[in-house]
Amino acid sequence: MKSARISAALMAVSLSAAAGAAVASDGGPTAHDLNGADVATWLDGLLPYALKSGDIAGVVLCIVKDGKVLFQSGYGYADVERKIPMDPEGVMTRIGSTSKLFTWTAVMQLVEQGKLDLHRNVDDYLDFKVSPRGGPPITLIDLMNHRGGFEEGLKDVLTSDPQSLMSSEAYLKQHPRPQLFPPGSVPAYSNYGAALAGYIVQRVSGEPFASYVDRHIFQPLGMRHSTFEQPLPERFKGMAARGYRSASQPPRPYELIIAAPAGSVAATAADMGRFMLAQLQQGQLDGYAMLRPETSRLMHTPSETSLPGFATLAHGFFHETHNGHLVIGHGGDTIFFHTELDLLPDDGVGIFYSFNSRGRDDAVYGLRKAVLDQFIDRYFPNTAASAPPAAMASAVADAQKIAGRYESSRRIEHGFLSVFYLLQQTVIGANPDGTIVAPNEFGAGETHLREVAPDLWHEIGGTRQLALRNINGTKTVIDSEDPTSVFQALPARKSAPLNVTVLTGSFLILAAAVILWPISYLVRRHFRPLPAQPAEMRRMRTILRSAALFDVLWLLAWVSVLTPVLSLQLDSYSSARDPWIVALQIAGLVVIALAITAIWSVVRLVKSGVSWPARIGNGLIAAALVGLVWIGYIGGLLGFNLNY
């Protein structure tokens, strides 16, 4: 969930300015000494204020260096009402997609044992098929690189009711994701793909996935308070931090992640410190070889090519540079928990932290970024001065090439939730001076960039880059900060201005027709009697207004289904809702029939010689009915797809 609000961005800016690197006598930055005392001073000045101002309940944190825990602490509360403090050794947080690092580590363990081949068709390891027919197969390396080609999905991904918690196997088989892209071609972040990898580990090892990770990673590393199991086993009773939308609101139920290998781990910060130490020491910790050194080196090596200076993936790790230092890691988000784990392998340093609430206006996203930015700027500043790259002479013309509307490759394209992608899109704009402006995908606000090489734009005053490419015949923008998705140019039929105009206009016309129907009747009857109209004319008018009423009710019913997404109530989207959705889909056939009937009715009214105002009014109603059919078709509201 890569979103933030303006206040979150402002917080990030103010926090980043509060404590950066020291300044050398020549005006350039110099590194602070990375030691426990300095880290405590930095964080004590940053986090208590940030948590309070952002209405965030708490955060737990661990930093390791040179084979040892350098610093670990907690700030704020694991349980606000009971005033239970965040404790790095005694409080377990949900680490979301950071859990994938354990799934990928398990895969690599089986690879080094010769039980898995990263480049083999995953169908060979499954008891059902996922690779597309007639094309390249999906491989494990595709899953690790988020290039399996899968469409995103929300149905049955999360619940708070243990009675509705299905196994990963059942989820994978009952909710296969449609194939949007050829395997290996386009990055599209996929929890389904990670869950597939976990299921493969289970089948090949012969052990339940959670048990496998416990026996081969958690327990041997001394991670005594970590688990993939859900709900939490009895032995961890009372250790889980409560999750909050904001600290001033009541706690939320424990989140149950159905695609468990993709994000269900609960762990203490101290345990995550041990995992970081093992990863930094070529898979070794206290005599246990989680991975062989050569396997560990392979895992940390890019497994997908990238443009110079662009982030890529390394067998499941995000792989990028900050201030000239290699950083590998993985963030993680549930609805209420927000986590970051980053390793600087060349420096022997790792940092992990996890927040247990979103905060006011999603403030956690700005704070989460600020912590990492400050950590690297303070202890690993960029000391190499470099002049900003010069702009291209063709910048003004080239800005028009990249300008346009885009959708993320990580999206839902089938099913009713695809309607959101018609209404909210990424816009890249061209400025008169040849610079471009793009939204900040990892925060609020905008980024201004200038072209520094053909089809390559560099952030003014920053490090972000955008590259324009043609992939599979589609104009595509690659973001240097995100190796797991790209922006793809939208066809005109999906343009948000077009579809928002059609949707808004159609609804207003139909709503007005419904409201004015009884009003006009009363006016004609009591204040302005009119000659009796022919029966056919009255019938046609009644048909049009009845159709308007039906369509308004149909649209409002869909709004009630779609609203939970806006408030992140993802557990609302489960198989239990299918009968209601099927009823709306069947009603969609009536909507189509009514639009056809409306056109016929208007034609009959025109032929009957009604006045021009009546022709225009009834014509607008018919056009609005057709407009809703268009929105239903292009937005996935018409059809019988329950795999969303």
Same domain, yes or no: 121 and 253: yes
Same domain, yes or no: 187 and 59: no
Would strands 243-244 and 251-252 be described as parallel, antiparallel, or unpaired?
Answer: antiparallel
What mean pLDDT value characterizes the chain?
91
Query: pLDDT tens digits for 292-314?
Result: 999 999 999 999 999 999 999 99
Query: pLDDT tens digits for 483-494?
Result: 999 999 999 999
Please give the pLDDT value at position 138.
98
**Using an 8 Å Cβ cutoff, are 181 and 189 in contact?**
no
Same domain, yes or no: 453 and 505: no
The verdict on pTM exceeding 0.75 is: yes
pLDDT at 554 over 60: yes
Boundary residue ending a domain (455, 490, 525)? 490
What is the rounded CA–CA span in Å between residue 183 and residue 305?
A: 15
Domain extent, residue 238, equals 94-267+284-304
CATH of the domain at 68: 3.30.450
Residue 533 resides in a domain: yes
Pick the closest to residue 328 from 38, 98, 3 (CA basis).
Answer: 98
Per-residue confidence at 524, pLDDT binned at 50, 70, 90?
low
Show Cβ contacts of residue 531 under 8 Å, excluding neighbours closer than 6 positions: none
Same domain, yes or no: 474 and 505: no
Same domain, yes or no: 130 and 217: yes
Same domain, yes or no: 186 and 298: yes
pLDDT at 31 over 50: yes
Same domain, yes or no: 125 and 256: yes
As a whole-number percent, the residues of the chain with pLDDT over 90 amount to: 79
Same domain, yes or no: 103 and 10: no
In angstroms, what CA-CA distances link 545 with 452, 531, 552, 627? 58, 20, 11, 15
Residue 65, H or E segment: strand 58-65
Tell me what the mean pLDDT of segment 23-52 comes to: 87
Please give the pLDDT value at position 10.
21
Query: pLDDT tens digits for 462-481?
Result: 899 999 999 989 999 999 99
Per-residue confidence at 266, pLDDT binned at 50, 70, 90?
very high
Query: pLDDT tens digits for 195-211?
Result: 999 999 999 999 999 99
Query: pLDDT tens digits for 591-639?
Result: 999 999 989 888 877 777 777 777 788 889 999 999 999 999 999 999 8
Boundary residue ending a domain (437, 472, 490)? 490
**Using an 8 Å Cβ cutoff, are 179 and 150 in contact?**
yes
Residue 643 resides in a domain: no
Query: pLDDT tens digits for 356-385?
Result: 999 999 999 999 999 999 999 999 998 776
Same domain, yes or no: 563 and 591: yes
Same domain, yes or no: 412 and 369: no
Please give the pLDDT value at position 6.
24
Please give the pLDDT value at position 2.
36
Please give the pLDDT value at position 605.
75
- Terminal Cα distance for the chain, rounded: 17
CATH of the domain at 293: 3.40.710.10
The phi, psi pair for 553, rounded to 5°, reads -65, -40
In the chain, the number of structural domains is: 4
Boundary residue ending a domain (490, 508, 534)? 490
Residue 536 resides in a domain: yes
pLDDT at 17 over 50: no
Show Cβ contacts of residue 508 under 8 Å, excluding neighbours closer than 6 positions: none
Per-residue confidence at 240, pLDDT binned at 50, 70, 90?
very high
